[in-house]
Amino acid sequence: MDFNSIEIASAEQKTAQAALFKNVYSWMAMALVVTGLTAFFVANSETLIQTIYGNRILFYVILFSPLALVWYLSARINTLTLSTATILFIVYSVLNGLTFSFIFLVYTSSSIASTFFITAGTFAAMALIGTFTKKDLSSLGSILFMALIGLIIASVVNIFLKNEMLYWIVSYAGVLIFVGLTAYDTQKIKRMINEHGTEVNESTQKMALLGALTLYLDFINLFLFLLRILGNRK
């Protein structure tokens, strides 16, 4: 292979990688918009609010369905078609919107909007760090994963304890954990795309979709923990 052929192949690979990165953030943005619009629409419909929150069984189905769906999507991404995976991602975003409609009932619209912009700025800064840092964040990822498990356990325990101090500790710890996970996951996605994104095909696009799901989860959780700290209740 001559020098010109190598340059052409390198340029094509960089183009494919850039396209996949664009897909990651496009799908993530789409999911956030779908979740936000669904939550807003439900919160402004008395009928839907009564239907969802007035039926305990339906509420728990809506609450736990996203967990099952994200597990299924992550585990079966290689066997699903791209169109099926995309539809499941959209359904997952809608289900989250149904669940998150409560924030419009609990918090003022102005504090939701301001917290969203703070989250977006924080997320963007950490995503840039994850993209351009030369430091390997793999070790940070394992620490954050263990901290996340502790956070989940503490959150469940505090459902019964209802301890205000633990509530605030969990809230601030949640922000720190998902700030770190944003940088870590961004670097991990960049590494995956650099290793496998030699061309844009169904396989690499599904990889980008899974990356979008990961960053979507980081954004949503960061937003929810920041809202606990910054949000003004009605």
Is the pLDDT at 100 greater than 80, yes or no?
yes
- pLDDT of 196 reads 84
Coil/strand/helix, residue 155: helix
In contact, 24 and 215? CB cutoff 8 Å: yes
pLDDT of residue 8 exceeding 80, the answer is no
pLDDT in tens, 9-62: 566 778 888 899 999 999 999 999 999 999 999 999 999 999 998 999 999 999
Contact (CB, 8 A) for 56 and 66:
no
Over the stretch 134-146, which tens digit does the pLDDT of each residue have?
Answer: 999 999 999 999 9
Q: What is the pLDDT of residue 2?
A: 54
- Tokens standing for 37? 């619009």
Residue 49: the pLDDT is 93
In the chain, where are the structural domains located?
3-230
Q: Give the per-residue pLDDT at 14.
A: 82
Q: What is the predicted pLDDT for the residue at 16?
A: 83
pLDDT at 20: 93
Q: 196-199 long-range contacts, Cβ below 8 Å, gap at least 24?
A: 197/13, 197/16, 197/17, 197/20, 198/13, 198/16, 199/12, 199/13, 199/16
* Average pLDDT over every residue of 222-233: 96
Residue 193 — pLDDT band, cuts 50, 70, 90?
Answer: very high
The predicted model gives 192-215 an average pLDDT of 92
pLDDT of 124 > 90? The answer is yes
Residue with more model confidence, 14 or 156? 156
Give the mean pLDDT of the chain.
92
The CA-based dihedral angle spanning residues 148, 89, 31, 111, taken in that order and rounded to the nearest 10 degrees:
-50
Give the global pTM.
0.94
Query: CA end-to-end span of the chain, whole Å?
Result: 67
Q: Label residue 136 left, alpha or beta by phi (over 0 means left) and psi (-120 to 50 means alpha).
A: beta
pLDDT tens, 177-189?
A: 999 999 999 999 9
pLDDT of amino acid 215: 98
Number of H helices, E strands in the chain: 9, 0
Mean pLDDT of 67-96: 95
Mean pLDDT to the nearest integer, 95-119: 95
Phi/psi at 164 (5° precision): -65, -40
All residues at 6 or more sequence positions from 178 whose CB lies less than 8 Å from its CB, including other chains: 218, 221, 222, 225
Tokens 């609990």 -> residue: 106
What is the predicted pLDDT for the residue at 17? Answer: 87
> Which residues are within 8 A (CB) of 31 and not within 5 positions of it... i.e. 6 or more apart?
89, 90, 92, 93, 212, 213, 216
Nearest-angstrom CA–CA distance, 31 and 174: 22
H/E segment holding residue 136: none
Dist. CA 126–CA 194, nearest whole Å: 19
